[in-house]
Structures are given as C-alpha cells and as structure tokens.
Amino acid sequence: MQPRELSIQTPHLTFAAMEWGDPQGQPVIALHGWLDNAASFTPMAAKLKGIRLIAVDQAGHGLSDHRPAWFSYDVWHYVEDLVYIAESLKLERFGLLGHSMGGVVSTMAAGSVLKDQVSGLVAIDGLFPWPRNPGDAPKALADYINQRRTPADQLPVTRYRSKQQAVRARAMSQFKVSRQSSELLVDRSIIEDGEDWIWTADPRLKLGSPTRFSLEQTLAFPRQMTCPAHMVYVDSGAISDAITQYHEQLPNIHFHPMRGNHHLHMDDQVEAIADIVNSVLGRKL
C-alpha cells in the first residue's frame, strides 16, 4: 500500500505527513518517536481496517520544518503542534496512535487540550512525560542555557560516506531496529550534502530539557483522559518497571505487555498491535 504525501500548513510550521487508507475512514493521527519519522508506521499501515491513518513528521524530524532558532523542542510544544495539525486537517474527532515520544505527546493532548476531540488512544512504549528529581532542576536549567549558547549551525552533525552506512548505523543505534525498518526510517530522514549524507533532523533535538514535570503532574495527564486508552509496551526494561510501579494508579488504561524491542510496531509485534489499533480506533460496525 503506497502512502499519499501530505503537506499540512499550520500558523507556525509546515508539517509533512504520510496518509494511508480510506479517506472516509476513521481518522487517526499517528506520532512517531524521538529522532524517528512518519515512516515508522509503514509496516502497520496495510494491516489497519477502516482507518484513515495520518502519520506526521513531528517538528524538526523527517521532512517537516525545524523550529525557529529562538524556539525550543520541549514536549508541550509538540502538544500545541498537534492542536494546529488537527485544525488544519479539519478533524473534529479523531484517534491518536503514538510511539515513544509520540505516545507521550498523545497522552498529554488527550488528557488536556484535546480531551473532548480524541476518540481513542493507543500508545506504544511511551505514555507519560518522564519526571525529574526536583533536586536536579537547577543543573538541568544551567546545562540547557549553556547548550543553547552554541548556534544551531555549529552543533555536531554526523556524516556518512554512503546511505547504506547510515542504514547500518541506524539499525545498531540505542534503539535497535531491523535492517528493513532502518531503511524505511533513513529514506525519509537523510539528504546528500556534498559527498556525504546527513540527517534532516534538527541537531537541537539532542539538547536537554530545561524543566520537567513532577511525578504527580506527569501522572495527571493519563489519569484525566476520558477516551478508551490502551498502552502496548516491552515487557522488560525501564518503561515496564514504571508501568509495574504505577499501573494501579491508572485504572482507565488497558495495558498490553509484549516481548520485543522498543520499535514493537515496526519489527516484533506489528500484527498484534494492528489488531489493538483496529479494535480501539477503527470504525465500529
């Protein structure tokens, strides 16, 4: 199934997106994870039924605009982006499908500004913004300000001698993916620069965050969601430990532990997750 390429103009940025499925199907906005792009949802797209899947390159990723030099990439700005994206698409009610950072953004939106518009949520290995120890706040702010003193065009840029070298590097990165999945992600996020290949992602995405929510604040977002909400997550690791610790405080969410790696929706559990998405976000017959 070939996607349709979209250009979504908002008051602040232009977003690139990939769209699959029946244009009259149930609209679902899909948000990828940090340093990924909309192609993250390609393996699942053909398995969705009755869904109009709109996978967006989030700001600074893939083919979408970078934020202006004076603007940050703090997570709440992604929530604001989502509001404008939905408005531009003229969607009054829609589902949300988010992976990792995209799951966090989706939960924050569904528990706050878009609560009355979100028909359902499926989050994949990401649910709420990670809290920070309050005592670390002063150093985090100082580090952030010092980092921003370096102009964006002087931040380190990784260069590759070939596209295949980039594919190998992405496959073996911190969040490993298969070679096939790596090719999907790289094709949408790399360009030629002279004799080299470089990522299209904004280098400022790797800067630290100046502040984070407290634990109570971070849990308030999923607690205040009123739509049907499901979370799929890897059954071992840091996220699994957090879910084990806090799931009893989130009775409104259905949890689905699964075996695999962080990109469950691309490599390990594509069909199983597609079944959940169809059940939660698809057209009810």
Residue 285 has pLDDT above 60, yes or no: no
Residue from 40, 64, 100, 182 carrying the catalytic annotation: 100
Tell me the C-alpha distance between 115 and 185, whole Å.
Answer: 31
Mean pLDDT of the chain: 94
Position 69 scores a pLDDT of 87
CB 58 within 8 A of CB 81: yes
Does residue 40 register a pLDDT over 60? yes
Q: What angle do CA 18, 284, 125 make, to 5 degrees?
A: 50
Strand 26-31 and strand 94-99: the pairing is parallel
Confidence of residue 284 (pLDDT cuts 50, 70, 90): low
pLDDT tens for each residue of 113-166? 999 999 999 999 999 998 888 888 899 999 999 998 888 888 889 999 999 999
Active site residue 100: yes
Model pLDDT, residue 258: 97
Q: Encode pLDDT of 96-115 as tens digits.
A: 999 999 999 999 999 999 99
Place of tokens 């390609």: 42
Placement of tokens 């405080």 in the chain: 249
Could you tell me the sign of the dihedral formed by the alpha carbons of 142, 109, 199, 69, in that order?
negative
Which token pair is 168? 């190998």
What residue ranges define each of the domains in the chain, with the CATH number in brackets? 4-132+213-281 (3.40.50.1820)
Task: Give this prediction's pTM.
Answer: 0.96
- Pairwise CA distance, residues 19 & 212, whole Å: 33
Give Cα 281 to chain centroid, integer Å.
17
Cβ contacts of 160 within 8 Å, gap of 6 or more: 166, 169, 190, 196, 197, 198
